[in-house]
Structure 1
Amino acid sequence: MSVVLKEWSKFSVAAKDGSVLNLRTVEILLNTSVMDNVLQCYLNYFVTEEANFIAARVLESEEAMDEMAQIVRSRSVLTDDEPHIVVCCFDNGNDDNIEVLGASIMALVRKDNPPPKQLELKSKECQKLMEIMGNLMEIYDEMKVFDLNLCFSDRGLVVCPEYRGLGIAQELLKVRRLMCKEYGIPVNGAWMTSYGTQKAAERDGWETVCELLYEDLEKKFHVIYPKNPPSTKFMIARISI
């Protein structure tokens, strides 16, 4: 059985060596080896590079990294509610052997869903991370702001380092628009914490509706953020239904 649930787009990019890469974005089934590769990519690059993880000092604690690895591999952070995982891969006609170049992870959340189960965290670093992320979700809740009955909640967007700078993040954001249109959702939003995701979102026409300086979050949570960029932005794409 194919691991691909749906193909969303095809596109070509010029690689750094001048060659042309033919790529596509596909939504994948969860219980496959491709999903395991997505989770490993998330653990290797998102967990180690995302600003909130760095501020909470997750990377500096072996206990916290082990705990985060257990959480990610159990899929409880990424696949709560109704998960939708889209990956960027080579367009080689093979649906059964997919190399993950990047991934967009979202959960379809319904207004009448019960509140998510709270994780029982042991390390102080992971506890701090959840404190920060929970606070950010309260500061700007797109479902409440736009009175949505249904929304796609961001769980992370990551591109493998060797394929960055090729427009993959922007393509994955375009696919988020297509998914929202299919489900009749007029707005999609996410906290964009890095220059890469902020620039990719700007190029795709996303707008900033809330911006928080990292220096203010440092005072609030008693942490230290990376120096660049200076702020995290909640950015939204408006979708014509």
Structure 2
Amino acid sequence: MSTVKVWSRFTAHKPGGVIVKLRIQDLSEHQHEELLDFFEKYFICDENFLKGSGIYKSKDAKEEFRFIFSHLLKDNKMHSVVCCPDEGSGPQPIVGFSGMYLETEEHSKVVEESQIQTPEVKKLFHILTTANDLFIATEKLGISKYYSGRGIVVHPDYRGLGIAKEIVKGRRVISKEHGAQATGAWMTSLGTQIAAERDRWEVVYQMPFKKFGEMVDIDFDAAPPILKMMVARVAE
């Protein structure tokens, strides 16, 4: 059985002084279904773009999103890592996730919008397309290879332990190893914005979240004041 690459190991302190050991590692194939379940519980109802689409309210939309993301996980341009307890060599539960998709000057689509069935997933693609049209990284940054963020999520019981900070730091390392000149993402929560700021990511585009909501006709009621496109350039 092949082993997955571990990108980092770190310790964190939970309330009460409990020390937990954690690691960031590549997603293994046998973890795909667990990750998709993890998304359904903690991602689609919490991340602001996904929450705004209303996918979490519809059984059909949740199934369609799961189907699309399951194919994305198998795409060779997608790089997925998970955070797990670092307790021995056996299987450990997923407590965090980060995904990046390698973009080049030749743009490709994971799925054609005409293939989308549910109104909630159509709404999500409208949100993502509108955001991406505001800042096309390869053009604006003048680069040919760029890792675009495809989500960060942390289990509620493990939030506040520095996992998001470790994930964004790891994105820079992974990008360098794979020859990308930068990595970036629309940071849609205060937590990811702060984590990126601490790793010295730069804000290359920003706008009031309320204004963006007006552009896509959605009230992002739980979003931070500012929607930020943040980028980490990779030193050669």
Same fold (TM over 0.5): yes
Spell out the pairing of 1:20-169 with structure 2 (5 A cutoff): 20-29=19-28, 31-32=29-30, 34-72=31-69, 75-94=70-89, 96-112=90-106, 114-119=108-113, 120-169=115-164
Structure 1: give runs of 5+ residues left out of the alignment.
none
Cα deviation per residue 1:108-140 (whole Å; 9 max; x = unaligned)?
233336444314222222111111101111111
* Deviation, structure 1 residue 182: 1.2
Distance change >3 Å, CA 98–CA 108, structure 1 → 2? farther
Secondary structure in structure 1 of the residue aligned to 2:11: strand
Cα deviation per residue 1:136-187 (whole Å; 9 max; x = unaligned)?
1111121221232222121111111100000001001111011112123232
**Is the 2:82–2:98 contact (alpha carbons within 8 Å) kept by the matching residues of 1?**
yes
TM-score (norm 1): 0.89
Cα deviation per residue 1:164-212 (whole Å; 9 max; x = unaligned)?
0000010011110111121232321000001111111111111211112
Determine if the alignment matches structure 1 residue 19 to structure 2 residue 14.
no
Secondary structure in structure 2 of the residue aligned to 1:97: coil
* Inter-partner Cα distance in structure 1 for 2:43 and 2:108: 28
**Counterpart selection for 2:209 from 203, 207, 214:** 214
How many residues align? The count is 235
* Deviation, structure 1 residue 55: 1.9
* Inter-partner Cα distance in structure 2 for 1:15 and 1:227: 26
Distance change >3 Å, CA 79–CA 136, structure 1 → 2? farther
Q: Which amino acid aligns with 1:182?
A: E
**Is the 1:8–1:175 contact (alpha carbons within 8 Å) kept by the matching residues of 2?**
yes
Secondary structure in structure 2 of the residue aligned to 1:211: strand
Distance change >3 Å, CA 16–CA 36, structure 1 → 2? same
TM-score (norm 2): 0.91
Q: Which amino acid aligns with 1:111?
A: E
